[in-house]
Amino acid sequence: WQAIPFVGFSVAFFALIYPRYLLSSQFYSEDQRRKFAHMDYVRKRDYFDALISSGVGINFDVMNRLLAHKTDVDDAEYDMAGLVLSPKSILKFLRAGNHLNSTGRVCIDSLTRSQLLNLCLTSGSTMLPIQFLQLLVPSFVMRYFVRSVAYDIVRDDDLLIAEGSNVSSLTESEILAACELRGLPTLSDMSATTMKQCLSNHLLMVHEFQEASDGVSNEIVVLYLPSMRNALKKS
């Protein structure tokens, strides 16, 4: 490569133009972090409704009845991510489509290819185009994608819950990364305080669900939660 010096310089040149594809996140500037987090959330949000409406076990009619009567919702509390749901509401949503495995549990192993495709897009587990996923990526690869993201979320949730769900000690950069991982809003005009509220409510719902869950894995909950809450967002 020394005989072709332009090649070495071209890598640095393209790294400046396309930092997201050639550099790891530790090399991003603060402005780049916020910009990329904003872009990621907008891209995921575009597929939230598709995840809900494509037969993934969550029924719009069920959610609309809940929203209208609010009998299963804790004082109809909202944040920027949407409605703060009770464990009973989450279970009702996830069981609406009866997507159970052989042991009667709702888990990643029980998901269909259509479900896996939409979860890849809403969880940010891959940057591949939807056409490429549909035509060329096997189901077991997509299952691996979403399982790895779910594992990271559940593990991080457990650590934060074990520390009392105290997010006030987290830095702004840590809050941004935590919200981005969970599919929570990371829009460029949001303050760190607003993102902390979304993260705190996420941890509250996960913790309450862990104590009341019945045949639904935590991995499924954290993957579906952003789409469920967004569908019940204040208009």
Q: Is residue 167 part of a domain?
A: yes
Q: Is residue 142 part of a domain?
A: yes
Q: Is residue 108 part of a domain?
A: yes
Buried b / exposed e over 18-48, threshold 16 CB at 10 Å, is ebeeeeeeeebeeeebbebbbebbeebbebb
For 55-98, what is each residue's pLDDT tens digit? 544 455 555 555 554 444 445 688 999 989 888 888 777 766 54
Q: Is residue 13 part of a domain?
A: no
Q: Is residue 22 part of a domain?
A: no
CB atoms within 10 A of CB 61: 8
**pTM here?**
0.79
Per-residue pLDDT tens digits of the chain, which is 235 residues long: 444 454 444 444 444 444 444 445 565 677 778 888 898 899 888 888 878 775 544 455 555 555 554 444 445 688 999 989 888 888 777 766 545 455 556 678 878 888 888 888 898 866 667 777 777 888 998 899 999 999 999 999 999 999 887 898 899 999 999 999 999 999 989 999 999 999 999 999 999 988 876 667 788 889 989 988 888 776 5
> Sign of the CA dihedral 81, 133, 105, 62?
positive
3-state secondary structure the chain: CCCCHHHHHHHHHHHHHCHHHHCCHHHCCHHHHHHHHHHHHHHHHCCHHHHHHCCCCCCHHHHHHHHHHCCCCCCCCEECCEECCCHHHHHHHHCCCCCCCCCCCECHHHCCHHHHHHHHHHHCCCCCCHHHHHHHCCHHHHHHHHHHHHHHHHHHHHHHHHCCCCCCCCCHHHHHHHHHHHCCCCCCCCCHHHHHHHHHHHHHHHHHHHHHCCCECHHHHHHHHHHHHHHCCCC
Q: Is residue 15 part of a domain?
A: no
Which residues are CB-contacts of 46 (< 8 A; sequence separation ≥ 6)? none
Query: How many domains does the chain contain in total?
Result: 1
Q: Is residue 7 part of a domain?
A: no
Place of tokens 């809940």: 66
Full residue range of the structural domain in which residue 74 is found: 29-232
Q: Is residue 20 part of a domain?
A: no
